[in-house]
Amino acid sequence: MMGWIPVALLAVPLLGALLLLLAPRTFRGVLPAYGLIFSGVTLALSLALLALYDYGGPARMRFELDLPWIPGLGLRLHLGVDGVSLPLIVLTALLTFLCFVYLCWGRARATGGFMSARPRALVFTLLVLEVGMIGTFLALDLLLFFVFFEIVLIPMYFLIGVWGGEGRRAASIKFILYTLLGSVVMLLGLLLVWAQTGTLDIEALTAAHGAGMPRSVQILAFVAIGIGLAVKTPMWPLHTWLPDAHTEAPTVGSVLLAGVLLKMGTYGFARIAIPVLPEGAAAVAPWLGAFAVVGIVYGALACLAQRDLKRMIAYSSVGHMGFVLLGFATLTPVGVNGALFANVAHGLITGLLFFLAGAVKERYHTSEMPALGGGMLATMPRLGSMLTFASIASLGLPGLAGFWGEMLALFGAFQPANGLPRGLFLTYMVIGGLGAVLTAAYFLVMLSRVTHGRPRDSAERHESPDERPIAVSLAPSDVRGYELAAWTPLVILILLFGLWPGLLLSLTTPPVQALLGALS
Partner 1 sequence: MIQQIDYFVIAPPLVLALAAGLVLLLDAFLPARRRAIIAERPGPSLPSRSGTATGLGLVTLAGILVALGFVVAQALGGGSPRSTFCVPPGLAGSGTLCSFVADGFTLVFAGMVLVAAVVIVLMSMTELAGGAIPVGEWYFLLLCTLVGAVTLPASRDLIMLVVALELVSLPVFALTALKRYDGRSSEAAVKLFVVSVVSTAIMLFGVSLLYGIAGSVYLSRLREVFGGQAMDLPAVVTVGVVLVVAGFAFKIAAVPFHSWAADVYQGAPVPVAALLSVISKAAGFAGLILVLVTALSGQAGTWAPIVAILSALTMTAGNLLAMRQRSAVRLLAWSSVAQSGYILAPLAVAATAPGAVGTSMAYLVIYAAMNLGAFAVVMLVSRAATRNELDDYRGLALRRPAAGVTLAFCLVCLAGLPPGLAGLFAKVFVFREIVGGGAGWLAVVMAVNTVIGLYYYAVWTARLFTPAGRPEPSPYRPPLTAWLAVGLALAAAVLFSVAPQLVLDLTSLSASG
Contacts with partner 1 by CB under 8 A lie at 69-73, 75, 143, 146-148, 150-151, 154, 158, 161-162, 169, 173, 176-177, 180-181, 183-184, 188, 191, 194-195
Rounded to 5 degrees, φ, ψ at 374 are 80, 175
* Cβ distance to partner 1 smaller for residue 195 or 305: 195
Determine the Cα–Cα distance for residues 328 and 387; give it in Å rounded to an integer: 30
- What CA–CA distance (Å, rounded) separates 387 from 379? 13
* Nearest distance in Å: CB 93, partner 1: 21
- Rounded to a whole number of angstroms, the minimum distance from the CB of residue 470 to partner 1 is 24
User: Are the C-beta atoms of 161 and 249 separated by less than 8 Å?
Assistant: no
Cα dihedral 72, 73, 79, 82 sign: positive
Residue whose C-alpha is closest to residue 268's, from 210, 187, 211: 187
Cα separations in angstroms, 56 against 48, 60, 460, 508: 17, 11, 62, 12
Least separation, in Å, of the C-beta of 119 and partner 1?
15
By C-beta, is 72 or 423 nearer to partner 1? 72
Nearer to partner 1 (CB atom), residue 180 or residue 424: 180
Q: Which residue from 336, 321, 353, 345 is spatially nearest to 232, judged by alpha carbons?
A: 321
Burial of 286 per CB tally in 10 Å (0-12, 13-18, 19+):
middle
CB of residue 72 to partner 1, shortest distance in Å? 4
Angle at the Cα of 350 from the Cα atoms of 258 and 448, rounded to 5 degrees: 135
Helix/strand/coil (H, E, C) string of 354-398? HHHHHHHHHHHCCCEHHHHCCCHHHHCHHHHHHHHHHHHHHCCCC
Could you tell me the smallest distance in angstroms from the CB atom of residue 159 to partner 1? 12
Smallest distance from partner 1 to CB 184, Å = 5
Q: Which is nearer to partner 1, 82 or 201 (CB)?
A: 201
- Of residues 50 and 191, the one with the C-beta less far from partner 1: 191
The DSSP string of 210-245 is: TTTS-HHHHHHHHHHHHHHHHHHTTPTTS-THHHHH
Q: How far is the CB of 151 from partner 1 (least distance, A)?
A: 5
CB of 176 to partner 1, least distance (A): 7
Identify which of residues 194 and 411 has a Cβ nearer to partner 1 in the complex: 194
What CA–CA distance (Å, rounded) separates 106 from 484?
11
Q: Cβ 411 to partner 1, closest distance in Å?
A: 38
Kindly tell me which of 71 and 469 has the beta carbon lying closer to partner 1: 71
Query: Shortest Cβ distance from residue 181 to partner 1 (Å)?
Result: 7
Q: Report, in Å, the least distance between residue 292 CB and partner 1.
A: 27
Specify whether the CB–CB gap between 335 and 328 falls below 8 A.
Answer: yes
Nearer to partner 1, 52 or 177 (CB): 177
Q: How far apart are CA 239 and CA 230, in angstroms?
A: 8
Task: Output the smallest distance, CB 73 to partner 1, in A.
Answer: 6
Orientation of helix 85-105 relative to helix 31-52, angle to 10°: 160
When the beta carbons of 186 and 296 are compared against partner 1, the nearer one is 186
Which of 142/260 has CB closer to partner 1? 142
Q: Is the C-alpha dihedral spanning 239, 244, 247, 250 positive or negative? A: negative
Output 70 or 437, the one with its CB closest to partner 1.
70
Between 174 and 346, whose beta carbon lies closer to partner 1? 174
Nearer to partner 1, 125 or 266 (CB): 125
Examine residue 381 and say whether the peptide bond preceding it is cis (omega within 30 degrees of 0): no
Whether the CB-CB separation of 143 and 189 falls below 8 Å is answered with no
CA distances from 299 to 115, 271, 310, 335, 409 (A): 32, 26, 14, 21, 17
3-state helix, strand, coil in the chain (%, to 5): 75, 5, 20
> Residue 330: helix, strand or coil by DSSP?
helix
Shortest spacing between CB 21 and partner 1, in angstroms = 9
Pairing mode of beta strands 62-70, 75-81: antiparallel
